[in-house]
Amino acid sequence: GTAFYLGFVIGCLLIPTLIQRVGHIRVFSGFAALAATAFLLHDFVTTVPVWLGLRVAIGFCFAGLYMAIESWLNDQATTHTRGHILGTYMFVSWVAVIGGKLLFAWINPGGLSPFALVSIGICLAVIPVAFGTGPAPAPATENPLRLRELYRISPVGFVGCLSVGATNGAFWTLGPIYAQSHSLTPLQIALFMGAAVFGGALTQWPLGRWSDWMDRRRIIAGSCLTAALAAGALAMGDQSHELIILTLALVFGAGALPLYALCLAHANDFAPPESFIQVSRDLLMVFGFGAIVGPYLGAWFMTIGGPIGLFLFTGSIHLSLTAYTLIRIWKRSPVPETEKTAFVSVPRTTQAILTLDPRSEETGRMASTQPVKEE
């Protein structure tokens, strides 16, 4: 997991320059071929250093694939269709994640089969891109990261995205190992991971809309506390029945997975209107940095405490973020209701999707010389 997210973050930083040089179609086709090859190589070379290198390469390739797809979506969007396209993209993404996990429950997890299936899917994705007749989108310009300025604007947004990256990265990487340690079947392991995704999909929009009506930090703190309590139950409670584990996974996902979009919306409440895209890009990178470290720290906790160490790690992070957010609520007043940006559920893929967010269109029209608000 650490290797994958390392490659993904590097790709987010470097691939925009490559797109400017060779174009979206070549980037998508080239990285699809490289990713398919890297997956197949897992079955031919089984040494740990080679697998780590392949995971870095796959993360880098997926950054390129996501960036090309999202650039095309943004290029086709108008002011009136932007929100609909983003919502459809989010829905398809959730369905694909859940469906992919369930699909692998029906095949032999050993041998070449899983890697071949992924490679086939990637190759099929090239077909509509290669035979498309529409023009490729114009490359977007990239600005350097401003992490210190970002933290000054919104400490909760910055620390929240970093923490969520660490916990989500650890869960996606090590969650199946936890489930397997409780003697779950491959189908039940897929349902365990899918339940977390389904929980996040259920609460993403209601929590976001609720945060539009009150101090977002209260919703962030409540979501963190929910995830922490569910993690504590998964670590210390009764895990003797698969239904209990699946229910707790759903509750964990309901609290943990909406946090990125909530932190993003909160940070943009305090940012000047014209800097929405830049702030969102920087927070995505902060999330990526957390996702690089999270799987490593989660594995360290599991080495010391056994499989439950995963949720001891995520629970402690979520509980710490709850406390930090409550301290910030006590120290700073919330942003006035008239200056809040509307919540939009956004995927954690690449910075190319951010221009598809309807808020980028709105803030572009509102751009002015307003001073930066500080949380």
CATH code of residue 75: 1.20.1250.20
- The pLDDT value recorded for residue 86 is 57
Which H helix or E strand runs over 147? helix 147-153
What is the Cα Rg of the chain in Å? 20
- The pLDDT value recorded for residue 145 is 58
Same domain, 124 and 156: no
- The pLDDT value recorded for residue 338 is 53
Predicted TM-score (pTM) of this structure:
0.76
Find all residues with CB under 8 Å of 268, minimum gap 6, and list them. Answer: 157, 276, 279, 280, 341, 359
Domain count across the chain: 2
Look up the domain containing 12 and give its range.
2-130
- The pLDDT value recorded for residue 137 is 60
Same domain, 288 and 182: yes
For residue 44, being part of any structural domain is answered with yes
For residue 375, being part of any structural domain is answered with no
For residue 236, being part of any structural domain is answered with yes
Instruction: State how far the alpha carbon of 188 is from the alpha carbons of 2, 90, 184, in Å.
Output: 25, 25, 5
For residue 20, being part of any structural domain is answered with yes
- Low pLDDT (below 70) residues in the chain: 70-91, 105, 109-110, 132-145, 238-240, 273-277, 332-375
For residue 254, being part of any structural domain is answered with yes
DSSP string of 203-219, one letter each residue:
HHHHHHHHHHSS-HHHH
Q: What are the start-end ranges of the E strands in the chain?
A: none
As a whole number of angstroms, the distance between CA 218 and CA 210 comes to 10
- The pLDDT value recorded for residue 343 is 47
As a whole number of angstroms, the distance between CA 16 and CA 23 comes to 10
